[in-house]
Protein backbone atom coordinates (compact mmCIF):
# COMPACT_ATOMS: atom_id res chain seq x y z
CA UNK A 1 0.00 0.00 0.00
CA UNK A 2 1.77 3.12 -1.30
CA UNK A 3 5.12 1.52 -0.59
CA UNK A 4 4.30 0.64 3.04
CA UNK A 5 4.64 -2.80 4.64
CA UNK A 6 2.59 -2.28 7.79
CA UNK A 7 3.41 -4.62 10.69
CA UNK A 8 0.32 -3.68 12.72
CA UNK A 9 -3.33 -3.49 11.76
CA UNK A 10 -4.61 -1.46 8.84
CA UNK A 11 -7.99 0.02 9.78
CA UNK A 12 -9.73 1.27 6.64
CA UNK A 13 -12.40 3.93 7.09
CA UNK A 14 -13.26 3.09 10.70
CA UNK A 15 -16.44 4.45 12.25
CA UNK A 16 -16.53 7.46 14.56
CA UNK A 17 -17.20 5.15 17.52
CA UNK A 18 -14.16 3.02 16.69
CA UNK A 19 -11.95 6.12 16.52
CA UNK A 20 -13.35 7.45 19.80
CA UNK A 21 -12.63 4.12 21.49
CA UNK A 22 -9.06 3.95 20.16
CA UNK A 23 -8.25 7.55 21.11
CA UNK A 24 -9.60 7.05 24.63
CA UNK A 25 -7.88 3.70 25.14
CA UNK A 26 -4.55 5.21 24.09
CA UNK A 27 -4.99 8.14 26.47
CA UNK A 28 -4.79 10.64 23.60
CA UNK A 29 -8.19 12.22 24.30
CA UNK A 30 -10.85 12.64 26.95
CA UNK A 31 -14.60 12.41 26.59
CA UNK A 32 -16.47 15.57 27.58
CA UNK A 33 -20.01 15.81 28.88
CA UNK A 34 -22.56 15.56 26.02
CA UNK A 35 -20.15 13.73 23.74
CA UNK A 36 -17.30 15.70 22.12
CA UNK A 37 -13.79 14.26 22.03
CA UNK A 38 -11.24 16.66 23.56
CA UNK A 39 -7.57 16.53 22.56
CA UNK A 40 -4.44 18.51 23.34
CA UNK A 41 -2.17 19.31 20.40
CA UNK A 42 0.88 20.04 22.55
CA UNK A 43 3.20 22.95 21.87
CA UNK A 44 1.73 23.65 18.42
CA UNK A 45 -1.78 25.09 18.81
CA UNK A 46 -1.91 26.58 15.31
CA UNK A 47 -0.39 26.17 11.88
CA UNK A 48 3.34 26.55 11.20
CA UNK A 49 3.28 28.44 7.88
CA UNK A 50 7.05 28.93 7.79
CA UNK A 51 7.52 25.16 7.93
CA UNK A 52 5.52 24.50 4.77
CA UNK A 53 7.53 23.42 1.73
CA UNK A 54 6.86 22.59 -1.92
CA UNK A 55 9.13 20.23 -3.82
CA UNK A 56 10.94 21.92 -6.69
CA UNK A 57 10.52 19.33 -9.43
CA UNK A 58 10.21 19.46 -13.25
CA UNK A 59 6.48 18.75 -13.40
CA UNK A 60 5.43 21.89 -11.52
CA UNK A 61 8.32 24.26 -10.83
CA UNK A 62 7.44 26.67 -13.66
CA UNK A 63 3.96 27.39 -12.25
CA UNK A 64 4.81 27.75 -8.54
CA UNK A 65 5.19 31.24 -7.08
CA UNK A 66 8.43 30.61 -5.20
CA UNK A 67 9.32 32.80 -2.23
CA UNK A 68 8.59 33.21 1.46
CA UNK A 69 5.10 31.72 1.17
CA UNK A 70 6.16 28.81 -1.04
CA UNK A 71 9.57 27.75 0.24
CA UNK A 72 11.26 25.05 -1.79
CA UNK A 73 12.62 21.68 -0.77
CA UNK A 74 14.53 19.28 -2.97
CA UNK A 75 13.08 16.01 -4.21
CA UNK A 76 15.96 14.22 -2.46
CA UNK A 77 15.06 15.78 0.89
CA UNK A 78 11.37 15.02 0.33
CA UNK A 79 12.17 11.37 -0.32
CA UNK A 80 14.34 11.26 2.81
CA UNK A 81 11.51 12.63 4.95
CA UNK A 82 9.05 10.28 3.28
CA UNK A 83 11.25 7.32 4.22
CA UNK A 84 11.29 8.49 7.86
CA UNK A 85 7.51 8.85 7.96
CA UNK A 86 6.93 5.51 6.23
CA UNK A 87 9.29 3.71 8.62
CA UNK A 88 7.31 5.02 11.57
CA UNK A 89 3.93 4.22 10.01
CA UNK A 90 5.03 0.66 9.24
CA UNK A 91 5.71 -0.12 12.90
CA UNK A 92 2.21 0.81 14.13
CA UNK A 93 -1.48 0.36 13.51
CA UNK A 94 -2.42 2.60 10.60
CA UNK A 95 -5.77 4.34 10.19
CA UNK A 96 -6.81 4.96 6.59
CA UNK A 97 -9.40 7.62 5.75
CA UNK A 98 -10.71 7.90 2.18
CA UNK A 99 -12.70 11.04 1.38
CA UNK A 100 -13.22 13.82 -1.16
CA UNK A 101 -12.15 17.43 -1.19
CA UNK A 102 -14.63 19.38 -3.32
CA UNK A 103 -18.40 18.98 -3.61
CA UNK A 104 -18.41 19.27 -7.42
CA UNK A 105 -17.74 15.77 -8.84
CA UNK A 106 -16.00 17.29 -11.87
CA UNK A 107 -13.50 19.20 -9.78
CA UNK A 108 -12.97 17.20 -6.61
CA UNK A 109 -9.88 15.43 -5.35
CA UNK A 110 -9.95 11.92 -3.93
CA UNK A 111 -7.97 12.15 -0.69
CA UNK A 112 -6.40 9.35 1.35
CA UNK A 113 -4.98 10.10 4.80
CA UNK A 114 -2.69 7.58 6.53
CA UNK A 115 -1.98 8.21 10.22
CA UNK A 116 -1.17 6.26 13.36
CA UNK A 117 -3.35 8.55 15.49
CA UNK A 118 -7.10 7.91 15.77
CA UNK A 119 -7.83 11.55 16.64
CA UNK A 120 -6.26 12.75 13.39
CA UNK A 121 -8.13 10.09 11.45
CA UNK A 122 -11.37 11.36 13.00
CA UNK A 123 -10.39 14.93 12.14
CA UNK A 124 -9.88 13.98 8.47
CA UNK A 125 -13.10 11.96 8.42
CA UNK A 126 -14.96 14.98 9.83
CA UNK A 127 -13.46 17.75 7.71
CA UNK A 128 -13.56 16.13 4.28
CA UNK A 129 -16.58 14.89 2.32
CA UNK A 130 -17.74 11.33 2.92
CA UNK A 131 -17.77 9.05 -0.15
CA UNK A 132 -20.83 6.97 -0.85
CA UNK A 133 -20.34 3.26 -0.13
CA UNK A 134 -20.14 2.51 -3.84
CA UNK A 135 -17.40 5.13 -4.26
CA UNK A 136 -15.17 3.33 -1.76
CA UNK A 137 -14.89 0.29 -4.03
CA UNK A 138 -11.70 0.75 -6.01
CA UNK A 139 -11.03 4.15 -4.42
CA UNK A 140 -7.87 5.63 -5.95
CA UNK A 141 -6.48 8.76 -4.29
CA UNK A 142 -5.44 11.87 -6.16
CA UNK A 143 -3.80 13.10 -2.96
CA UNK A 144 -2.00 10.93 -0.40
CA UNK A 145 -1.34 12.44 3.05
CA UNK A 146 1.28 10.59 5.10
CA UNK A 147 0.81 11.96 8.61
CA UNK A 148 3.04 11.17 11.56
CA UNK A 149 3.46 14.01 14.09
CA UNK A 150 5.89 11.98 16.21
CA UNK A 151 8.46 12.06 13.39
CA UNK A 152 10.61 15.19 13.51
CA UNK A 153 12.91 16.53 10.85
CA UNK A 154 16.62 17.18 11.25
CA UNK A 155 17.04 20.61 9.63
CA UNK A 156 20.66 20.04 8.64
CA UNK A 157 19.97 16.63 7.15
CA UNK A 158 16.48 17.22 5.75
CA UNK A 159 16.67 20.79 4.47
CA UNK A 160 13.91 22.09 6.74
CA UNK A 161 13.78 25.18 8.95
CA UNK A 162 12.89 23.38 12.19
CA UNK A 163 11.78 19.91 13.33
CA UNK A 164 8.31 20.58 11.86
CA UNK A 165 7.56 19.85 8.20
CA UNK A 166 4.53 20.09 5.94
CA UNK A 167 5.77 19.13 2.48
CA UNK A 168 3.87 18.94 -0.81
CA UNK A 169 5.03 17.14 -3.94
CA UNK A 170 2.71 18.68 -6.61
CA UNK A 171 3.17 16.11 -9.38
CA UNK A 172 2.95 13.02 -7.16
CA UNK A 173 0.10 14.53 -5.16
CA UNK A 174 1.77 13.55 -1.90
CA UNK A 175 1.81 15.44 1.40
CA UNK A 176 4.09 14.71 4.36
CA UNK A 177 3.26 16.08 7.81
CA UNK A 178 5.50 15.65 10.84
CA UNK A 179 6.55 17.34 14.07
CA UNK A 180 3.15 18.91 14.84
CA UNK A 181 -0.07 17.45 16.24
CA UNK A 182 -2.23 20.41 15.15
CA UNK A 183 -5.08 18.98 13.04
CA UNK A 184 -5.50 22.05 10.85
CA UNK A 185 -2.32 21.17 8.95
CA UNK A 186 -4.14 18.19 7.41
CA UNK A 187 -6.99 20.10 5.86
CA UNK A 188 -4.98 23.17 4.85
CA UNK A 189 -2.32 21.07 3.10
CA UNK A 190 -5.01 19.38 0.98
CA UNK A 191 -6.55 22.79 0.26
CA UNK A 192 -3.14 23.90 -0.98
CA UNK A 193 -3.20 21.02 -3.48
CA UNK A 194 -6.70 22.14 -4.58
CA UNK A 195 -5.44 25.71 -4.98
CA UNK A 196 -2.76 24.41 -7.33
CA UNK A 197 -4.91 21.99 -9.34
CA UNK A 198 -8.11 24.02 -9.84
CA UNK A 199 -6.59 26.93 -11.83
CA UNK A 200 -5.31 24.35 -14.32
CA UNK A 201 -9.00 23.49 -14.91
CA UNK A 202 -10.13 27.13 -15.16
CA UNK A 203 -11.69 26.99 -11.68
CA UNK A 204 -11.19 29.81 -9.18
CA UNK A 205 -10.22 28.55 -5.68
CA UNK A 206 -11.29 30.96 -2.94
CA UNK A 207 -10.69 31.42 0.79
CA UNK A 208 -14.24 32.54 1.45
CA UNK A 209 -17.57 31.63 2.99
CA UNK A 210 -20.70 31.33 0.84
CA UNK A 211 -24.46 31.24 1.20
CA UNK A 212 -27.52 31.23 -1.05
CA UNK A 213 -31.12 32.40 -0.86
CA UNK A 214 -33.86 29.89 -0.04
CA UNK A 215 -34.91 29.75 -3.71
CA UNK A 216 -31.33 28.93 -4.74
CA UNK A 217 -31.05 31.87 -7.15
CA UNK A 218 -29.00 34.42 -5.21
CA UNK A 219 -25.50 33.28 -4.22
CA UNK A 220 -23.15 35.49 -2.19
CA UNK A 221 -19.51 34.85 -1.30
CA UNK A 222 -17.56 36.49 1.53
CA UNK A 223 -13.79 36.98 1.45
CA UNK A 224 -12.10 38.06 4.66
CA UNK A 225 -9.25 37.40 7.03
CA UNK A 226 -9.67 36.29 10.64
CA UNK A 227 -11.77 38.65 12.73
CA UNK A 228 -13.54 40.38 9.86
CA UNK A 229 -16.91 38.62 10.24
CA UNK A 230 -16.71 36.09 7.41
CA UNK A 231 -18.37 33.30 9.38
CA UNK A 232 -20.79 35.55 11.26
CA UNK A 233 -22.20 37.33 8.20
CA UNK A 234 -22.51 34.20 6.07
CA UNK A 235 -24.40 32.39 8.85
CA UNK A 236 -27.71 34.08 7.99
CA UNK A 237 -30.75 32.10 9.23
CA UNK A 238 -32.79 33.36 6.27
CA UNK A 239 -30.32 31.85 3.78
CA UNK A 240 -28.67 28.46 3.20
CA UNK A 241 -25.03 28.05 4.17
CA UNK A 242 -22.89 26.52 1.42
CA UNK A 243 -19.72 26.59 3.51
CA UNK A 244 -17.59 28.83 5.71
CA UNK A 245 -13.94 28.47 4.67
CA UNK A 246 -12.84 27.46 1.14
CA UNK A 247 -14.74 27.15 -2.14
CA UNK A 248 -14.25 26.78 -5.86
CA UNK A 249 -15.99 28.82 -8.58
CA UNK A 250 -16.35 26.70 -11.68
CA UNK A 251 -18.44 26.59 -14.84
CA UNK A 252 -21.56 25.57 -12.94
CA UNK A 253 -21.16 27.83 -9.92
CA UNK A 254 -19.74 27.72 -6.40
CA UNK A 255 -18.89 24.54 -4.47
CA UNK A 256 -17.56 23.88 -0.98
CA UNK A 257 -14.20 22.15 -0.54
CA UNK A 258 -15.05 20.42 2.71
CA UNK A 259 -17.63 18.42 4.58
CA UNK A 260 -17.02 19.94 7.99
CA UNK A 261 -16.48 23.16 9.87
CA UNK A 262 -13.36 24.08 11.85
CA UNK A 263 -14.69 26.78 14.15
CA UNK A 264 -12.89 28.85 16.77
CA UNK A 265 -14.55 28.27 20.13
CA UNK A 266 -12.90 30.76 22.48
CA UNK A 267 -15.60 32.60 24.45
CA UNK A 268 -18.33 31.03 22.34
CA UNK A 269 -21.80 31.57 23.84
CA UNK A 270 -25.06 29.69 23.45
CA UNK A 271 -26.93 32.98 23.14
CA UNK A 272 -24.81 34.52 20.35
CA UNK A 273 -24.17 31.38 18.26
CA UNK A 274 -26.55 28.64 19.37
CA UNK A 275 -25.97 26.30 16.42
CA UNK A 276 -22.19 26.27 16.77
CA UNK A 277 -22.63 25.89 20.53
CA UNK A 278 -24.81 22.85 19.92
CA UNK A 279 -22.29 21.35 17.52
CA UNK A 280 -19.46 21.88 20.00
CA UNK A 281 -21.39 19.93 22.65
CA UNK A 282 -22.13 16.90 20.43
CA UNK A 283 -20.88 13.39 19.80
CA UNK A 284 -18.57 13.24 16.79
CA UNK A 285 -17.09 16.70 17.35
CA UNK A 286 -13.34 16.99 17.95
CA UNK A 287 -12.25 19.81 20.26
CA UNK A 288 -8.63 20.97 20.15
CA UNK A 289 -7.05 22.56 23.22
CA UNK A 290 -10.36 23.33 24.93
CA UNK A 291 -10.10 23.17 28.71
CA UNK A 292 -12.20 20.42 30.32
CA UNK A 293 -12.43 19.65 34.03
CA UNK A 294 -12.38 16.28 35.80
CA UNK A 295 -16.17 16.02 35.50
CA UNK A 296 -16.02 16.47 31.73
CA UNK A 297 -17.38 20.02 31.75
CA UNK A 298 -16.04 22.34 29.05
CA UNK A 299 -14.79 25.86 29.76
CA UNK A 300 -14.91 27.73 26.46
CA UNK A 301 -13.76 30.97 28.11
CA UNK A 302 -10.45 29.51 29.27
CA UNK A 303 -7.60 30.56 26.97
CA UNK A 304 -4.81 29.17 29.14
CA UNK A 305 -3.73 26.77 26.39
CA UNK A 306 -4.37 29.08 23.44
CA UNK A 307 -6.75 31.67 22.01
CA UNK A 308 -7.01 29.35 19.01
CA UNK A 309 -9.26 26.70 20.55
CA UNK A 310 -11.05 24.81 17.77
CA UNK A 311 -13.98 22.51 17.08
CA UNK A 312 -14.17 20.20 14.06
CA UNK A 313 -17.71 19.03 13.28
CA UNK A 314 -19.76 17.98 10.28
CA UNK A 315 -21.57 20.78 8.42
CA UNK A 316 -24.78 18.81 8.85
CA UNK A 317 -24.76 20.02 12.46
CA UNK A 318 -25.84 23.43 11.15
CA UNK A 319 -29.59 23.45 10.52
CA UNK A 320 -29.58 25.82 7.55
CA UNK A 321 -26.64 24.26 5.70
CA UNK A 322 -27.16 23.31 2.04
CA UNK A 323 -26.80 19.51 1.80
CA UNK A 324 -25.43 19.62 -1.76
CA UNK A 325 -22.66 22.04 -0.65
CA UNK A 326 -22.85 23.70 -4.09
CA UNK A 327 -24.98 26.35 -5.80
CA UNK A 328 -24.98 28.67 -8.81
CA UNK A 329 -22.88 31.68 -9.76
CA UNK A 330 -22.57 34.56 -7.27
CA UNK A 331 -24.46 37.80 -7.80
CA UNK A 332 -22.60 39.47 -4.95
CA UNK A 333 -18.94 39.21 -3.99
CA UNK A 334 -18.17 40.70 -0.58
CA UNK A 335 -14.71 41.73 0.61
CA UNK A 336 -14.60 42.14 4.40
CA UNK A 337 -12.08 44.37 6.18
CA UNK A 338 -11.94 45.17 9.89
CA UNK A 339 -10.38 48.60 9.46
CA UNK A 340 -9.08 49.63 12.89
CA UNK A 341 -8.03 53.03 11.52
CA UNK A 342 -11.69 54.06 11.18
CA UNK A 343 -11.15 55.31 7.63
CA UNK A 344 -13.08 52.99 5.32
CA UNK A 345 -16.85 53.48 4.94
CA UNK A 346 -19.18 50.72 6.12
CA UNK A 347 -19.77 49.72 2.50
CA UNK A 348 -18.48 50.67 -0.95
CA UNK A 349 -19.10 49.42 -4.47
CA UNK A 350 -16.00 48.51 -6.48
CA UNK A 351 -15.31 48.61 -10.20
CA UNK A 352 -13.78 45.49 -11.73
CA UNK A 353 -10.26 47.01 -11.57
CA UNK A 354 -10.76 48.15 -7.98
CA UNK A 355 -12.05 44.68 -7.11
CA UNK A 356 -8.86 43.06 -8.39
CA UNK A 357 -6.73 45.67 -6.60
CA UNK A 358 -8.45 45.03 -3.26
CA UNK A 359 -8.43 41.27 -3.86
CA UNK A 360 -4.68 41.26 -4.42
CA UNK A 361 -4.25 43.55 -1.39
CA UNK A 362 -6.31 41.39 1.03
CA UNK A 363 -6.53 44.13 3.65
CA UNK A 364 -7.51 44.13 7.31
CA UNK A 365 -5.72 45.47 10.39
CA UNK A 366 -4.12 44.15 13.55
CA UNK A 367 -5.27 45.72 16.79
CA UNK A 368 -3.12 47.27 19.48
CA UNK A 369 -2.33 44.72 22.16
CA UNK A 370 -2.95 41.61 20.05
CA UNK A 371 0.78 41.03 19.57
CA UNK A 372 3.84 42.04 21.55
CA UNK A 373 4.99 45.47 20.40
CA UNK A 374 1.76 46.38 18.60
CA UNK A 375 0.77 49.67 20.26
CA UNK A 376 -1.47 51.07 17.53
CA UNK A 377 -3.45 49.61 14.61
CA UNK A 378 -1.26 48.08 11.92
CA UNK A 379 -2.30 47.25 8.36
CA UNK A 380 -2.28 43.58 7.40
CA UNK A 381 -2.21 42.59 3.75
CA UNK A 382 -2.73 38.88 2.99
CA UNK A 383 -2.71 38.45 -0.78
CA UNK A 384 -6.01 37.18 -2.19
CA UNK A 385 -7.27 36.83 1.42
CA UNK A 386 -5.36 33.54 1.68
CA UNK A 387 -1.66 33.96 0.91
CA UNK A 388 -0.35 30.96 2.90
CA UNK A 389 -2.32 28.47 0.78
CA UNK A 390 -1.71 29.76 -2.75
CA UNK A 391 1.02 27.83 -4.58
CA UNK A 392 0.84 29.80 -7.82
CA UNK A 393 1.58 33.53 -8.30
CA UNK A 394 -1.21 35.82 -7.00
CA UNK A 395 -1.96 37.24 -10.44
CA UNK A 396 -3.11 33.78 -11.56
CA UNK A 397 -5.93 33.92 -9.01
CA UNK A 398 -6.70 37.57 -9.71
CA UNK A 399 -7.03 36.88 -13.44
CA UNK A 400 -9.41 34.02 -12.71
CA UNK A 401 -11.52 36.26 -10.46
CA UNK A 402 -11.61 38.93 -13.16
CA UNK A 403 -12.80 36.39 -15.71
CA UNK A 404 -15.54 35.09 -13.41
CA UNK A 405 -16.76 38.61 -12.60
CA UNK A 406 -16.90 39.49 -16.29
CA UNK A 407 -18.63 36.26 -17.31
CA UNK A 408 -21.33 36.33 -14.65
CA UNK A 409 -21.82 40.02 -13.93
CA UNK A 410 -21.29 39.80 -10.17
CA UNK A 411 -21.03 43.06 -8.23
CA UNK A 412 -18.17 43.45 -5.76
CA UNK A 413 -18.65 45.27 -2.46
CA UNK A 414 -16.16 46.24 0.24
CA UNK A 415 -17.64 46.09 3.75
CA UNK A 416 -15.80 47.56 6.74
CA UNK A 417 -16.66 45.68 9.94
CA UNK A 418 -13.99 47.61 11.86
CA UNK A 419 -14.12 51.04 13.43
CA UNK A 420 -15.92 54.31 12.82
CA UNK A 421 -15.78 57.72 14.53
CA UNK A 422 -12.01 57.40 14.94
CA UNK A 423 -9.39 54.67 15.16
CA UNK A 424 -9.38 51.78 17.61
CA UNK A 425 -9.20 53.23 21.13
CA UNK A 426 -11.06 56.40 20.16
CA UNK A 427 -13.91 55.43 17.86
CA UNK A 428 -16.25 52.47 18.20
CA UNK A 429 -16.85 49.21 16.37
CA UNK A 430 -19.15 49.41 13.37
CA UNK A 431 -22.62 48.45 14.65
CA UNK A 432 -23.38 44.88 13.57
CA UNK A 433 -26.99 45.94 13.05
CA UNK A 434 -25.88 48.49 10.44
CA UNK A 435 -23.60 45.96 8.74
CA UNK A 436 -26.43 43.43 8.52
CA UNK A 437 -28.81 46.08 7.16
CA UNK A 438 -26.31 47.08 4.46
CA UNK A 439 -25.70 43.46 3.52
CA UNK A 440 -29.46 42.85 3.32
CA UNK A 441 -29.80 45.90 1.04
CA UNK A 442 -27.07 44.49 -1.21
CA UNK A 443 -28.61 41.04 -1.43
CA UNK A 444 -32.13 42.39 -2.02
CA UNK A 445 -30.88 44.71 -4.76
CA UNK A 446 -32.13 47.86 -3.01
CA UNK A 447 -28.68 49.37 -2.65
CA UNK A 448 -27.84 49.11 -6.35
CA UNK A 449 -30.44 51.66 -7.40
CA UNK A 450 -29.60 54.38 -4.87
CA UNK A 451 -27.42 57.47 -5.12
CA UNK A 452 -23.64 57.07 -4.74
CA UNK A 453 -20.72 59.44 -4.17
CA UNK A 454 -17.13 58.82 -5.26
CA UNK A 455 -14.61 58.75 -2.44
CA UNK A 456 -11.89 61.30 -3.25
CA UNK A 457 -9.01 59.17 -1.90
CA UNK A 458 -10.02 55.56 -2.52
CA UNK A 459 -12.03 56.13 -5.70
CA UNK A 460 -14.79 53.64 -4.91
CA UNK A 461 -18.51 54.42 -4.83
CA UNK A 462 -20.19 54.93 -1.45
CA UNK A 463 -23.99 54.98 -1.06
CA UNK A 464 -25.41 58.28 0.19
CA UNK A 465 -28.33 56.57 1.93
CA UNK A 466 -29.29 53.02 2.81
CA UNK A 467 -32.37 51.44 4.43
CA UNK A 468 -32.23 51.31 8.25
CA UNK A 469 -28.74 52.85 8.41
CA UNK A 470 -27.79 56.19 9.96
CA UNK A 471 -26.61 58.40 7.07
CA UNK A 472 -23.69 59.73 9.13
CA UNK A 473 -22.15 56.24 9.21
CA UNK A 474 -21.94 56.24 5.42
CA UNK A 475 -19.62 59.26 5.54
CA UNK A 476 -16.83 58.23 7.95
CA UNK A 477 -15.19 61.67 7.76
CA UNK A 478 -18.27 63.22 9.35
CA UNK A 479 -18.06 60.81 12.31
CA UNK A 480 -14.59 62.05 13.36
CA UNK A 481 -14.31 64.93 15.86
CA UNK A 482 -11.49 66.36 13.71
CA UNK A 483 -12.27 65.93 9.96
CA UNK A 484 -8.83 67.23 8.95
CA UNK A 485 -7.19 64.52 11.06
CA UNK A 486 -9.38 62.00 9.24
CA UNK A 487 -8.05 63.35 5.92
CA UNK A 488 -4.45 62.90 7.05
CA UNK A 489 -5.09 59.36 8.27
CA UNK A 490 -6.97 58.51 5.08
CA UNK A 491 -3.98 59.59 3.02
CA UNK A 492 -1.71 57.54 5.30
CA UNK A 493 -3.81 54.41 4.79
CA UNK A 494 -3.97 55.02 1.04
CA UNK A 495 -0.19 55.27 0.99
CA UNK A 496 0.08 51.94 2.83
CA UNK A 497 -2.13 50.31 0.20
CA UNK A 498 -0.07 51.77 -2.64
CA UNK A 499 3.28 50.80 -1.12
CA UNK A 500 2.15 47.25 -0.37
CA UNK A 501 0.86 46.81 -3.91
CA UNK A 502 4.00 48.24 -5.52
CA UNK A 503 6.16 45.91 -3.42
CA UNK A 504 4.19 42.68 -3.84
CA UNK A 505 2.40 43.02 -7.17
CA UNK A 506 4.70 44.70 -9.66
CA UNK A 507 3.52 42.14 -12.24
CA UNK A 508 -0.15 43.16 -11.97
CA UNK A 509 -1.83 44.64 -15.07
CA UNK A 510 -1.45 48.41 -15.39
CA UNK A 511 -5.21 49.04 -15.19
CA UNK A 512 -5.38 47.19 -11.86
CA UNK A 513 -2.37 49.06 -10.44
CA UNK A 514 -4.01 52.32 -11.57
CA UNK A 515 -7.02 51.52 -9.34
CA UNK A 516 -4.89 52.10 -6.24
CA UNK A 517 -6.04 54.79 -3.78
CA UNK A 518 -4.56 58.24 -4.44
CA UNK A 519 -2.79 59.53 -1.30
Which amino acids are annotated catalytic? Answer: 47, 188, 207, 226, 230-231, 245, 310
Query: Facing residues of 240 across strands?
Result: 212
Cα separation, 330 vs 332, whole angstroms: 5
Indicate if the alpha-carbon torsion angle 375, 381, 382, 384 is positive or negative.
Answer: positive
Cα separation, 295 vs 264, whole angstroms: 23
CA 480-483-485 angle, to 5 degrees, is 95
Find out whether 393 and 75 touch, Cβ atoms under 8 Å.
Answer: no
Find out whether 165 and 48 touch, Cβ atoms under 8 Å.
Answer: no
Q: Where are the beta strands (DSSP E) in 224-345?
A: 239-243, 246-250, 253-256, 260-264, 286-288, 291-292, 298-299, 310-314, 326-327, 330-337
Compute φ and ψ for 260, nearest 5 degrees: -135, 180
Cα torsion at 449, 455, 460, 463 (round to 10°)? Answer: -20
Distances (CA, A) of 216 to 269, 278, 329, 442, 479: 30, 26, 10, 17, 39
Strands 286-288 and 37-39: parallel
Angle between helices 394-408 and 352-361 (to 10 degrees): 150
Query: Facing residues of 72 across strands?
Result: 54
- The 3-state secondary structure of 482-508 reads CHHHHHHHHHHHHHHHHHHHHHHCCCC
Cα separation, 414 vs 348, whole angstroms: 5
Amino acid sequence: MHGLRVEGRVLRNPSTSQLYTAALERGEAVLAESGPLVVDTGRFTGRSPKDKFIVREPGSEDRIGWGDVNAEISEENFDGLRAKVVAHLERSDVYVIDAFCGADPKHRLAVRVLTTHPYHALFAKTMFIDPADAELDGFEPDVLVLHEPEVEADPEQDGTRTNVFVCLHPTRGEVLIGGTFYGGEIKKSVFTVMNDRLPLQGVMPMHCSANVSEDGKDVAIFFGLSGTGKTTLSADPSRKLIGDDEHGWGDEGVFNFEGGCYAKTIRLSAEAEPEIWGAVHSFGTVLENVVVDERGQLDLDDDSKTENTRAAYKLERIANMLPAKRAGHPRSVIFLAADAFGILPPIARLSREQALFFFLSGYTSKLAGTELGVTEPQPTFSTCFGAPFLPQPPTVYAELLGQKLAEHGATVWLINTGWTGGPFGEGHRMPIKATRALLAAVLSGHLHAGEFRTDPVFGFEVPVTAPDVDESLLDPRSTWADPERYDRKARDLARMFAENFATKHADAPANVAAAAPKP
